[in-house]
């Protein structure tokens, strides 16, 4: 295939992975509805200036269709109370209970049959109508000035960009976690997180021309998912390959935040999907540190997204090994896919390695390939992406 044909193949694959517009619209309708519920006149949280916002793949525009048709979508939300609740006035438990009580009232009012389920850091709400969603809602409050100041100084050293560092540090939040030793007590060392700050950082990596977006206070008002830059689409392809590879045992697969973070760091502004995918796969490993933190959180460099790799309780899962195995296999499988002119073989590989169902006849017409093209027989060993990249030539 020529490079143009390879790009068109990758674009067709991402189009099949993309969520329907209705899924994003329904997700927004649902978290807007919850936000209105928390702000209603008789809400116990109405005076706390509640802010419900999405986080994770829906926020970043990197969500993909589930492998199985009836599998529910995961919608991660945060409920931030911006006034009236502090670490001096509430315990983590009391904050979580406050949010949980309102969510239980919401569940009953909306006729949601599945019970509200407590998780370590959040509440899970199973919302089912035309689309099934797992909604995980994390209770949080703004981090104190001291903690935000420390984050700001850390980010200044990492980024050398005071404007972005200040915007991100300001959005740091303190979250609840029932595994915290002082969960039921007044304490000042709550765990912190920063999903809004991460979204700002990610947008800044998507495209330098979008840098002005990070100056806005409410990133969630920007429909980032509609932009669909090559970085977002590359991450969708990588996540789909990961999901297909670990379909039989999802507990051991590399987590999305690691793939997303490494891909965003490895992205060098490529403007087409083929070169972005090749470059990111080649450079990702260089952003894994040899010592802790192995994969630092870009908006809190002291946090390690790969901390489970070295935890004794997760040792049987071989998480680090599985990450490196996946990365090697992704290089090989994308390489194999790109080196064939036979559409029967391409559709077969897309189905097996990516669980993407493509119509062979339609693909042949789209790529302009003649029927009966030569079949590429892959070698037994993985294809390395060292220059020159054979599957990026054409």
Give tens-digit pLDDT for 189-245: 999 999 999 999 999 998 654 544 444 434 344 456 567 899 999 999 999 999 999
- Using CA atoms, how far residue 330 sits from 105, 191, 344, 382, in Å, is 45, 34, 20, 9
Residues forming a β-bridge with 53: 78
Angle of helix 3-17 versus helix 273-283 axis, rounded to 10: 80
In this prediction, residue 131 has a pLDDT band, given cuts at 50, 70 and 90, of confident
Looking at every residue in the chain, the average pLDDT score rounds to: 89
For domain 19-225, the CATH class is alpha beta
Share of the chain above pLDDT 70, in %: 88
CA 257, 258, 260, 261 dihedral sign is positive
Q: What is the dihedral of CA 361, 362, 363, 367, to 10 degrees?
A: 110
Please give the Cα distance from 248 to 65 (Å, whole number): 17
At residue 159, the pLDDT reads 81
If we measure between CA atoms, which residue out of 257, 251, 332 comes closest to residue 298?
257
At residue 157, the pLDDT reads 87
Angle of helix 360-367 versus helix 343-354 axis, rounded to 10: 120
Please give the Cα distance from 138 to 80 (Å, whole number): 8
Contact assessment for residue 199 and residue 205, using Cβ atoms and an 8 Å cutoff: no
Mean pLDDT on 364-383: 60
At residue 22, the pLDDT reads 85
Residue with the bigger pLDDT between 71 and 107: it is 107
Contact assessment for residue 116 and residue 107, using Cβ atoms and an 8 Å cutoff: yes
Please give the Cα distance from 354 to 242 (Å, whole number): 8
At residue 392, the pLDDT reads 60
Give tens-digit pLDDT for 63-94: 999 998 778 888 999 999 999 999 999 999 99
- In this structure, the number of other CB atoms found within 10 A of the CB of residue 293 comes to 15
At residue 394, the pLDDT reads 53
Least confident of 232-246, 340-354, 364-378: 364-378
At residue 213, the pLDDT reads 41
At residue 178, the pLDDT reads 97
At residue 331, the pLDDT reads 97
HSE-up of residue 377 (Cα within 13 Å, Cβ side): 0
In this prediction, residue 26 has a pLDDT band, given cuts at 50, 70 and 90, of confident
pTM of the model: 0.89
Give tens-digit pLDDT for 148-202: 999 999 999 888 789 989 999 999 999 999 999 999 999 999 999 999 999 999 9
Mean pLDDT on 349-353: 95
At residue 383, the pLDDT reads 37
Residue 227, classed as helix, strand or coil, is coil
Please give the Cα distance from 169 to 73 (Å, whole number): 30
- In this structure, the number of other CB atoms found within 10 A of the CB of residue 70 comes to 6
Residue with the bigger pLDDT between 377 and 125: it is 125
Contact assessment for residue 144 and residue 89, using Cβ atoms and an 8 Å cutoff: no
Mean pLDDT on 362-374: 76
Alpha-carbon 5 to chain mean position: 28
- In this structure, the number of other CB atoms found within 10 A of the CB of residue 101 comes to 13
Going through 60-119 in order, the beta strands assigned E by DSSP cover 73-81, 117-118
């Amino acid at each position: 295939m020529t490079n143009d044909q390879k790009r068109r193949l990758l674009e067709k694959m991402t189009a099949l992975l993309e969520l329907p517009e209705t899924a994003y619209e329904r997700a927004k309708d649902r978290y807007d509805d919850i936000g209105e519920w928390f702000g209603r006149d008789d809400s116990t949280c109405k005076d706390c200036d509640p802010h419900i916002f999405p986080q994770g793949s829906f926020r970043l525009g990197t969500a993909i269709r589930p492998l199985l048709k009836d599998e529910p979508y995961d919608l991660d939300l945060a409920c931030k109370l911006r006034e009236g609740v502090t670490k001096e006035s509430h315990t983590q438990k009391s904050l979580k209970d406050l949010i949980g009580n309102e969510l239980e009232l919401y569940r009953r009012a909306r006729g949601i049959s599945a019970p509200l389920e407590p998780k370590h850091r959040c509440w899970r709400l199973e919302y089912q109508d035309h689309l099934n969603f797992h909604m995980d809602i994390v209770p949080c409050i703004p981090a104190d000035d001291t903690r935000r100041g420390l984050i700001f100084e850390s980010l200044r050293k990492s980024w050398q960009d005071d404007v972005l560092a200040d915007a991100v540090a300001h959005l740091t939040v303190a979250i609840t976690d029932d595994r915290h030793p002082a969960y039921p007590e007044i304490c000042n060392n709550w765990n912190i997180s920063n999903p809004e700050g991460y979204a700002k950082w990610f947008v800044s990596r998507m495209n330098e021309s979008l840098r002005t977006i990070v100056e806005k206070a409410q990133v969630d008002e920007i429909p980032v998912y509609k932009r669909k830059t090559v970085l977002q689409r590359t991450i969708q392809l990588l996540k789909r390959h990961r999901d297909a590879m670990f379909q039989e045992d999802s507990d051991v697969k590399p987590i999305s935040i690691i793939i997303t973070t490494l891909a965003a760091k490895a992205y060098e502004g490529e403007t087409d999907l083929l070169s972005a995918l090749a470059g990111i796969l080649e450079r990702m490993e260089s952003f894994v540190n040899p010592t802790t933190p192995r994969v630092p959180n870009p908006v809190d460099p002291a946090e390690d997204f790969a901390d489970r790799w070295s935890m004794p309780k997760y040792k049987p899962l071989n998480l680090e090994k599985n990450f490196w195995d996946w990365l090697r296999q992704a290089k090989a499988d994308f390489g194999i896919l790109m080196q064939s002119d036979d559409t029967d073989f391409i559709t077969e590989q897309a189905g097996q390695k990516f669980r993407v169902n493509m119509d062979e006849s339609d693909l042949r017409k789209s790529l302009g390939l003649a029927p009966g093209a030569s079949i590429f027989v892959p070698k037994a060993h993985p294809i390395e992406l060292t220059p020159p990249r054979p599957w990026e030539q054409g």
